[in-house]
Structure 1
Amino acid sequence: MTIEPPSEPTEGPTRGRTLRARRAFRHWRRTRPFWAAVWTGLGGFVILFLPLAPLGKILQVGIGGIAGMAGGVVLMAMALLILLLPGQRHTAGVIAVITGVASFPLSNLGGLFVGMVLSVLGGSMAFAWLPEKPTKRRRSARRIRPVETPLPTGSGSA
């Protein structure tokens, strides 16, 4: 009784498309402050939907709910702006930080601190993000320096 090793998975057309899609998404993600947008969006989500919780779980009802929803919408819009227009990341990052800090007194302690911390983290990451500079390719052939020959010195007669 012999056990055959498992066969190598064949690379079909679906696997090739999936690999290309993953590589394209990875390239797209690395050309913009992706994680800053994710954290800002999550902070906005927490601040937006915490006032929509059942009445027994809301800390403040009324104007705080409206301010929380408005702050959450602004934060989610800034997350989209950070993600889709990386050239505007400084403005969107500053607005995200200000809105996140303003959510503390206006909306249930800033989404019970979680939304505030996430939005401040995401906004500061967006402000600090720098685009990656393309790497310079090395030349395959080394640069060859000409060998310098020493000048002949006098051989005795002047």
Structure 2
Amino acid sequence: MSVETPASREVPRDNRFKIWRQTRPFWAGVFTIIGGVPIAYLPYGDMRFGNIVLAMKTTAGSGALIIGVLLITLGFMMWFQPAVRVFAGVATIVLGLVSIPVSNFGGLVVGFLFALVGGGMSTAWAPAPPVEDTGHAEDTEDDYADDSAYDPGPEYFGTAVPVAADVPEQRERPVTDTTIDAEGGRNSAG
């Protein structure tokens, strides 16, 4: 349980994953993990097309492996420690940028783009405000459809509501050159 996650209430089994996913930067973690895989794999892996072998071996293979593993770790950190989402997002963006010169143009640009999107999503994600538990059923508009049923009267507000007879009459002020009309223009004095 993280610092920002409230104590869990009884939740139906089919909604647990949905609630877990919504209380953390889930998709940012997915994009970060997907971005780390090609960055770590491409310098070491090879693809075979019949008799043709496509290998992208480089001298910076260990750096690419470290960056890829760190990106995958940051993706899992976004899931299981959402309190450090900003740090994980910024670190993901920096590692994605570093992967361009180190890991075959950032895992053939695919890993680089996924890492940047995941880092940006993690940095921008904010937890939803907590839902207030009122302890009773939700109010609907039908409850207050009849306005006469809910009329607290002037005693509710502590003072009597002034009526037209209680308001002193306003006296006319003389019109001058600087008096502004109700329509926004100036009145002329005469």
Q: Does TM, scored on the shorter chain, surpass 0.5?
A: yes
Q: Distance in 1 between matches of 2:125 and 2:112?
A: 20
- Cα deviations by residue, 1:53-82 (Å, 9 ceiling, x for unpaired): 2285344522x2111101001101110111
2:30 aligns with 38
Which structure ranks higher in relative contact order (CA pairs < 8 Å, sequence separation ≥ 6)?
A: 1
Q: Distance in 2 between matches of 1:21 and 1:52?
A: 41
Q: How does 1:66-105 map to 2 (within 5 A)?
A: 66-105=62-101
Higher helix share: 1
Q: CA RMSD in A?
A: 2.8
Aligned length: 135
Q: With structure 2 as the length reference, what TM-score do the two structures score?
A: 0.62
- CA–CA distance in structure 1, aligned partners of residues 87 and 58 of structure 2: 31
SS at match of 2:62: helix
Q: 1:133 and 2:129 equivalent?
A: yes
Percent sequence identity over aligned pairs: 33
Task: Give, in whole Å, the separation in 2 of the partners of 1:117 and 1:150.
Answer: 66
CA apart distance, 1:146: 1.7
Instruction: Confirm whether residue 110 of structure 1 aligns to residue 116 of structure 2.
Output: no
Measured against aligned partners, the alpha-carbon deviations of 1:22-61 in whole angstroms (never above 9, x if no partner) come to: 3100010000000000000000011111112228534452
Q: Following TM superposition, where does structure 1 have runs of at least 4 consecutive aligned residues deviating by more than 6 angstroms?
A: none
Q: Which amino acid aligns with 1:115?
A: G
5+ residue gaps, structure 1, are: 1-19, 154-158
